[in-house]
Chain A
Amino acid sequence: MKRRQPGSSWRRFAIGFPYAWLVAFFLAPFLIVLKISLSQTAIAQPPYTPVLDLAAGWRGVTDFFNGLSFENYGLLGSDPLYLLSYVKSIEIAAFSTLMLLVVGLPIAYAIARTPRRWQAIFVLLVALPFWTSLLIRIYSWMNILQREGPLNDLLMGLGIVKEPPAWLATDTAIYIGVVYSYLPFMVLPLYASLEKLDESLLEAAADLGCPRWKIFWLVTLPLSSSGILAGVLLCFIPIVGEFVIPDLLGGSQSPMIGQTIWTEFFGNKDWPAASAVAVVLVFLLVTPIVIYQHQAMRVAERD
């Protein structure tokens, strides 16, 4: 596309303004987190040392670098609390992503098979809960899952359980909350790729006598793998860092990593430790994205 030079001030503005904003409010803050993760806790305002003192000239800069240490990262390795919350976060994210796939796939598939003019309505119906506050949706589960709540009433009424089980403050509640909250994130990308599926391929398989479940397994699933991958990433990554769901529905004995950062920060006021936990989490999450990008580029090259 050819561009003429005279209007380049508009072009500079359209690129420069959002660029500057992101550098100031996304990149710079992250560099500060990185820096503070290498600092030590101090009883001061701000509660960490060293503080970069540019007024002291070169002396200030060297003092600053000499004051940095990897101590906080050592702490992450030595205190099992941190390790356990990383493991717990990844465990919950992995299992709930799997559950989301199992629950989401039939729904996405069913929407893709409804008459075309209805599909937009079903997509809207799936997306609508996402627009309402996550806090509210999780809170609605607190209503349902409480000991004298409707779920236990139903289970007791049907005679499935004798004693009302405690749902809140368990991992089961976290799984319910996560699957509920992230279902739109799984169904919508799956639907997007299933909807593009060439039906003649399915018909060909059926004409050749392939049973329905086998068509699904051998034709539908492989052809929708891009949607599956997108859905898995869209769910897995944010679930790892989730705070609201485990905090309201889960127990306090084994926190997820988002809760650990929150407690270190607000409870223990240990900013350097919170920053170190955050930096490790970012690298943990960046890895699957880089792998995904790499895969996507290989696919693009192949085509």
Chain B
Amino acid sequence: MRKMSAVNVAALVLGLAFLYIPIAVLVIYSFNASRLVAVWGGWSTRWYAELFNDAPLIDAAVTSLRVALASATAATILGTLAALALARFGRFRGRLPFAAMIYAPLVMPEVITGLSLLLLFVAIAVDRGFWTVAVAHTTMAMCFATVIVQSRLADFDTSLEEAAMDLGAPPLRTFVSVTLPLIVPAIVAAWMLAFALSLDDLVIASFTTGPGTTTLPIRIYSEVRLGVKPEMNAMCSIMVGVVGAAVIIASLFVKLTGSRGAAGR
């Protein structure tokens, strides 16, 4: 018996409208010809054209993509290892503090993560820039990656791995030829989440960056904090489009590879 009442339908429709109308408004306004954002001046793509002349913005976008690529890759490797340690290695000395350090950053306010990493970088006197932001994002994202891969590892039992080991495969070999193929969808999902988190982050990047390294969110933030700008509407619409397409393609990919529950959050 699965009947939807009128109340259920209304809740669903209103809820989705609430989630999507602001994004739709943003996209519509990005095509507004008028410089005054509030005044509708007809359809136009002039703000998209102007984006390509905004060299600092393009620089920031390239920096962000590079940081996201580096940190998502590192975070996925670290997160997969950590998930394996938590889900497959049973008890080991220091497991509890390890688990605590995995879960704590998930709820740690970004302001504090950023502040503490900056103070570390100052204390060890490294030049801040691309690599410090990448390290900071790796640390934040690896915990999310761990959770995703770990839930996938918990989804299937250990009998396949044990069979491989009983037949004499060493642990590393077992991981590469048995475990890894099974958790690929989760690893892809983890990488994408880490990438999105890095691309999205303003606060941690603001703390850990140095002169000369500006990420896209830092750039957008400095542009919009004093008010709405049409170029930023166009920039944000592009980002929404790219991320939306990527997530939908990834979900289809996960679905087509016949796995379930890997897309996680």
Q: Please report the C-alpha to C-alpha distance between residue A33 and residue B123 in the assembled complex, in whole angstroms.
A: 11
The residue from A21, A128, A141, A187 contacting B22, defined by CB atoms under 8 A apart: A141
Contacting pair A133 B239 (CB below 8 A):
yes
Say yes or no: A18 contacts B23, CB within 8 Å. no
B78 at the interface (CB under 8 A from A): yes
Q: Do A248 and B203 have beta carbons less than 8 Å apart?
A: no
A275 on interface, CB distance cutoff 8 Å: yes
A278 and B111 in contact, given A19-B98, A32-B116, A122-B12 (Cβ under 8 angstroms): yes
Q: How far is the CA of A135 from the CA of B102 in the complex (A)?
A: 25
Which residue of A is nearest B232, CB measured? A139
A residues neighboring B (CB under 8 Å) = 1, 3-4, 6-8, 10-11, 13-15, 17-19, 21-23, 25-30, 32-33, 36, 46, 103, 106-107, 109-111, 113-116, 120, 122, 124-137, 139-144, 146-150, 180, 183-184, 187-188, 199, 203, 212, 233, 237-238, 240-244, 247-248, 258, 261-262, 265-266, 271, 274-275, 278, 281-282, 285, 289
Contact B232 A21 (CB under 8 A): no
- Check B225–A10 contact: CB distance below 8 A: no
Judged by a CB distance under 8 angstroms, whether B65 is at the interface is no
Asked, given contacts A7-B170, A110-B12, whether A21 binds B109 with beta carbons under 8 Å apart, the answer is no
Q: Does B212 contact A (CB under 8 A)?
A: no
Interface residues of B in 160-202 (CB under 8 A from A): 162, 165, 170-172, 175, 196, 199-200, 202
Chain A residues near B78 (CB-CB < 8 A): 17-18, 21
Q: Are A14 and B115 in contact (CB under 8 A)?
A: no
Those 9 A-B pairs whose CB atoms lie nearest each other, nearest first: A241-B109, A7-B171, A148-B38, A29-B116, A106-B11, A107-B15, A18-B82, A140-B26, A110-B8
Q: Which of A19, A131, A199 gathers the greatest number of chain B CB atoms within 10 Å?
A: A131
Minimum CB–CB distance for A288 against chain B, Å: 10
Tell me the interface secondary structure of chain A in the complex. helix
- Chain B interface residue count, CB cutoff 8 Å, equals 92
Min CB–CB distance A49 → chain B (angstroms): 14
Q: Does B89 contact A (CB under 8 A)?
A: yes
- B126 at the A interface (CB under 8 A): no
Whether the Cβ atoms of B25 and A15 lie closer than 8 Å is no
Chain A residues with CB under 8 Å of B154's CB are: none
Closest Cβ of chain B to A296, distance in Å, is 12
Interface residue B214 (Cβ < 8 Å from any Cβ of A): no
A11 adjacent to B117 (CB under 8 Å): no
Interchain CA distance A261-B114 in the complex, whole Å: 11
Task: Point out the residues of chain A lying under 8 angstroms from B146, CB to CB.
Answer: 18
The answer to whether B23 and A140 have CB atoms under 8 Å apart is yes
Which listed residue (A107, A137, A203) contacts B23, Cβ 8 A?
Answer: A137
- Is the C-beta of B101 less than 8 angstroms from some C-beta in chain A? yes
The 8 Å CB contact of A18, one of B7, B11, B12, B81, is: B81
Q: Given that A1-B158, A136-B240 are contacting pairs, would A19 and B94 also be in contact in the complex, using a CB cutoff of 8 Å?
A: yes
Q: Report yes or no: A10 in contact with B109, Cβ–Cβ below 8 A.
A: no
Q: Which of A7, A26, A128 contacts B139 (CB 8 A)?
A: A26
